[in-house]
Amino acid sequence: MSSFAAISATDPETRPLIRPITVLNALAVLAGLLLAALMAAPLRAGAEPARAPRLVALSQVNYGALLLQAGPQGKYVEAPLVASDIDIKITGIIARAVITQRFRNPAKGWAEGKYVFPLPDNAAVDTLKMMIGKRFIEGRLKERREAKIIYEKAKAAGKKAALVEQERPNMFTNSVANIGPGETVVVQLEYQHEIRQDGGEYRMRVPLVVAPRYLPKPVMHLAAHRPGEMTVAISDPVPDAGRISPPVQHPAKGKRNPVSMNIHLAPGFALGEIKSPHHKIAVRREGSDAALIGLADGEVWAERDFELTWTARPGAAPDATLFRETVDGQTYLLAMINPPAMTDGQPLKPREMVFVIDNSGSMSGQSMRQAREGLLYALSRLKPADSFNIIRFDDTMDQLFADAVAANDANLTKARAFVAGLEANGGTEMLPALKAALIDARPGDTGRLRQVIFLTDGAIGNESQLFAAIQAGLGRSRIFTVGIGSAPNSFFMSRAATYGRGSFTHIGQTSEVKTRMAALVRKLEQPAMTDLRVNWPGSADPESWPNPLPDLYAGEPIVLTARMDKLAGDMELSGDLAGRPWSLKLALGSAESGTGIARLWARRKIMALEGIRYQTRDWKAHDAALLAIALKYGLVSRLTSLVAVDVTPSRPKGAELISADVPLNLPAGWNFEKVFGEDLPAIDEEISPTSIREAALIKTTDTPPVAANQKPKGLPLPAGATEADLQIMVGLIALMMAALLLLMLVLRRRGFGPADERRPA
């Protein structure tokens, strides 16, 4: 009906004509349907509906499953039987992980598999290996576009190939081409990241699930490019939605993707408690300062992030940990420093707290309960001198008070009722809520700390828009993100907290709400260490990241990486601890040697470059700098991918091409249903399986590889059809029926009517 609308909008004189049409629409469309169905019937006769496999679109499945491409329309056949093994070695505060994934092709043809997998958001991926039979093939790091081309060429040539690409800093995809019938391919990738520490507790998270993300619809808005000049622009907040939506498995379909895990922990100090909040683990101690950790149940399903926490034995925790590595004549430093306990000697500043709570559909169930409880707890900890406000959002938003109000009994009662009434529903349009939360009525008020607490699962895809909004509107506010649920989008939340100069807290299950929220609230109540600065020795002019150093709250360590010519002299840290100056000197020469520090530095630098990308105007130069770093240090990034190709072709020459000839993927007959769509069967003799296959074949060779040097995007295409043909068809049918009836009537009048009607009853 869209063309009706469009026409009536431009030519008002056609409106009277449209009225009778809409009134008679039902009847006419019915007639059209009948006819179309009749004409399409012979086409369907050859179909084999019983053999058609269950097709999934990328937006239909839930856990990371291996998908085999089927046909050109972004549909996949789900292939189970992928298993992952994760092996992690923790040395000091660096974790190095080896992930091994086994893919098996259950089909009778050659297939391409694609696996979407999550990693910690500060992970630096540097190695890809592929095992075929007994041979190992090592991947090479290439510019993303080049890697894609190499992969596509190998795929077309029938060679086995694997390609690891970064979709988000914490989400990667692994594509494997030309898996033979019934064949198993093992792909191994390695990454490292530094361990988080908070309040004496060390924490490592291994994300195992990519939560389905809410992707806001493209919106049309007025954009002022130059003052006084307005144009309408349609902006798609998630240009790469097709790439980052992993298929979603219905929970009732059983769980897939078993994961086994092996962790060697050697933190460099005497170990206290070792715990995993969500999984049962088996711990074997090796002396006082090392341990082996495995899963108590052997294997788990990849449905909940794995988390491991450990503490030092009382008194054994180091105040500062320094690691160094020398690569190509340059020294890299990783430092983790615990500042002194921040005493609360002086009166605390009152705060203006804005709570933003996500009640979108992705939060439903346990997550919503956790968020509600977390927020109620935070409300209970407000002091009479504080002021507060609450904003809730799904695809709509509400603000409880017009401006922050005093935390008195009346207001708190109102707030509790508001929170208790929240139900999870709808989409996640976070931007308006974020902007509303950052509106500061008193930007010059230094007597109060303005803190924005964001409770969400972060299941959104328009991160960049949100980051830009945070950077533009932060002012004196500080943003603290609280990740809710079993698989929050921790990349978004930790990055949002970084931009918001606050911190990120993850709440995995209801039992943690109290402790984690208490830790956060305690942190927020206490004064922060601000204006942190490093003074490097003498002439050494190191490049250090993060830069500038973020504010520090009680219990948090300072983590920084630096590259310098040589390691000598003292590094001096200074800051403002609740109004008093604080400083600390560390001898750089005392750093222990470690591995992977250079890559961690490079990863931090890449993250920093990505972070300021929204501010820079010259994206090309910016991206070139980023690419140079990623290539030099061999890291997978937005602009670089790992690709491995087997030199010998394994798919017989002249044999089937993945999407064209695998019987499982493209059985004769089911093309029609797929191409015609589910609403109306079409009537066009020109459509044949061959033409569709041609389209599929050309797609693999002729379209430019989806490169990601700028933004990987597929332009949304407007509709390209009018209803003219349908209307003409319906009109002709109606006229034909009229003519037929007239003919019958005339014949009857002249006595040639059907014999049975003239016969006496």
- Please name the residue ranges forming H helices in 677-723: 689-702
Closer residue to another protein (CB): 653 or 749: 749
548: preceding bond cis by omega (within 30 degrees) = yes
Q: For residue 33, what are its two tokens?
A: 């349907």
Stretch that binds another protein, among 48-56, 493-501, 559-567, 679-687 (CB under 8 A): 679-687
CB 264 within 8 A of CB 88: yes
Q: Determine, following the binding rule CB under 8 A, whether residue 673 of this chain makes contact with another protein.
A: no
Q: Determine, following the binding rule CB under 8 A, whether residue 683 of this chain makes contact with another protein.
A: yes
- Which of 615, 748, 754, 758: binder of another protein (CB under 8 A)? 748
- Please name the residue ranges forming H helices in 421-489: 430-438, 463-473
Q: By rule CB under 8 A, what string of x and - marks binding of each residue 66-105 to another protein?
A: ------xxx-------------------------------
Q: For residue 201, what are its two tokens?
A: 């507790």
- Which of 46, 714, 747, 752: binder of another protein (CB under 8 A)? 714
Q: Determine, following the binding rule CB under 8 A, whether residue 296 of this chain makes contact with another protein.
A: no
Strand partners, 103: 185
Q: Determine, following the binding rule CB under 8 A, whether residue 694 of this chain makes contact with another protein.
A: yes
SS3 (DSSP) at 568: coil
The distance of closest approach from Cβ of residue 704 to another protein in the complex, given in angstroms and rounded to an integer, is 7
- Which of 701, 752, 754, 758: binder of another protein (CB under 8 A)? 701
The distance of closest approach from Cβ of residue 323 to another protein in the complex, given in angstroms and rounded to an integer, is 40
Q: Measured between alpha carbons, how far is residue 362 from residues 396, 716, 735 in Å?
A: 14, 25, 52
Closest of 115, 139, 114, 117 to residue 128, by C-alpha: 139
Stretch that binds another protein, among 120-128, 333-341, 377-385, 727-735 (CB under 8 A): 727-735
Which residues in 168-207 contact another protein (CB under 8 A)? none
Q: Determine, following the binding rule CB under 8 A, whether residue 761 of this chain makes contact with another protein.
A: no
Q: Determine, following the binding rule CB under 8 A, whether residue 134 of this chain makes contact with another protein.
A: no
- Which of 38, 472, 621, 737: binder of another protein (CB under 8 A)? 737
Q: Determine, following the binding rule CB under 8 A, whether residue 156 of this chain makes contact with another protein.
A: no
Strand partners, 582: 575
CA distance 289 to 266: 6
Neighbours of 262 (CB within 10 A): 14
> What does DSSP assign to residue 527?
P
The distance of closest approach from Cβ of residue 521 to another protein in the complex, given in angstroms and rounded to an integer, is 42
The distance of closest approach from Cβ of residue 464 to another protein in the complex, given in angstroms and rounded to an integer, is 16
- Which of 282, 420, 628, 738: binder of another protein (CB under 8 A)? 738
Q: Determine, following the binding rule CB under 8 A, whether residue 593 of this chain makes contact with another protein.
A: no
Which residues in 225-264 contact another protein (CB under 8 A)? 233-234, 241-242
CA distance 646 to 644: 7
Closer residue to another protein (CB): 296 or 695: 695
The distance of closest approach from Cβ of residue 694 to another protein in the complex, given in angstroms and rounded to an integer, is 7
CB 352 within 8 A of CB 366: no
> Cβ contacts of residue 86 below 8 Å, gap of 6+?
97, 98, 99, 100, 206, 259, 260, 261, 262
Stretch that binds another protein, among 28-36, 532-540, 563-571, 587-595 (CB under 8 A): 28-36
Q: For residue 299, what are its two tokens?
A: 């294997």
Neighbours of 604 (CB within 10 A): 22
Q: Determine, following the binding rule CB under 8 A, whether residue 712 of this chain makes contact with another protein.
A: yes
Q: Determine, following the binding rule CB under 8 A, whether residue 38 of this chain makes contact with another protein.
A: no
The distance of closest approach from Cβ of residue 159 to another protein in the complex, given in angstroms and rounded to an integer, is 23
- Which of 421, 621, 722, 754: binder of another protein (CB under 8 A)? 722
Closer residue to another protein (CB): 576 or 723: 723
Amino acid symbol at 389: N
Q: Determine, following the binding rule CB under 8 A, whether residue 754 of this chain makes contact with another protein.
A: no
Closer residue to another protein (CB): 69 or 257: 69
Q: Helix 597-611 crosses helix 619-633 at what angle (to 10 degrees)?
A: 170
Stretch that binds another protein, among 406-414, 455-463, 591-599, 684-692 (CB under 8 A): 684-692
Stretch that binds another protein, among 444-452, 516-524, 554-562, 712-720 (CB under 8 A): 712-720
Closer residue to another protein (CB): 44 or 140: 44
Q: Determine, following the binding rule CB under 8 A, whether residue 733 of this chain makes contact with another protein.
A: yes
The distance of closest approach from Cβ of residue 715 to another protein in the complex, given in angstroms and rounded to an integer, is 5
Q: For residue 398, what are its two tokens?
A: 């509400």
Q: Determine, following the binding rule CB under 8 A, whether residue 34 of this chain makes contact with another protein.
A: no
Task: Map tokens 């050659």 to a residue.
Answer: 110
- Which of 27, 37, 296, 385: binder of another protein (CB under 8 A)? 27
Strand partners, 141: 642
- Which of 50, 222, 341, 721: binder of another protein (CB under 8 A)? 721
The distance of closest approach from Cβ of residue 162 to another protein in the complex, given in angstroms and rounded to an integer, is 21
Label residues 340-377 b or e (16+ Cβ within 10 Å = b): eebeeeeeeebbbbbbbbbbbbbbeeebbebbbbbbeb
Closer residue to another protein (CB): 50 or 232: 232
The distance of closest approach from Cβ of residue 639 to another protein in the complex, given in angstroms and rounded to an integer, is 14
Q: Determine, following the binding rule CB under 8 A, whether residue 686 of this chain makes contact with another protein.
A: yes
The distance of closest approach from Cβ of residue 669 to another protein in the complex, given in angstroms and rounded to an integer, is 16
Closer residue to another protein (CB): 193 or 693: 693
546: preceding bond cis by omega (within 30 degrees) = yes
- Residue 272, CA atoms < 13 Å, CB-side half-sphere: 12
CB 205 within 8 A of CB 120: yes
CB 572 within 8 A of CB 587: no
Q: Determine, following the binding rule CB under 8 A, whether residue 718 of this chain makes contact with another protein.
A: yes
CB 607 within 8 A of CB 467: no
The distance of closest approach from Cβ of residue 158 to another protein in the complex, given in angstroms and rounded to an integer, is 21
Q: For residue 570, what are its two tokens?
A: 């003292």
β strands within 422-465, DSSP E: 449-456
Number of residues that bind another protein (CB under 8 A): 81
DSSP string, 355-420: EEEE-SGGGTTHHHHHHHHHHHHHHHT--TT-EEEEEEESSSEEESSSS-EE--HHHHHHHHHHHH
Q: Determine, following the binding rule CB under 8 A, whether residue 584 of this chain makes contact with another protein.
A: no
The distance of closest approach from Cβ of residue 221 to another protein in the complex, given in angstroms and rounded to an integer, is 13
Q: For residue 127, what are its two tokens?
A: 């190695």
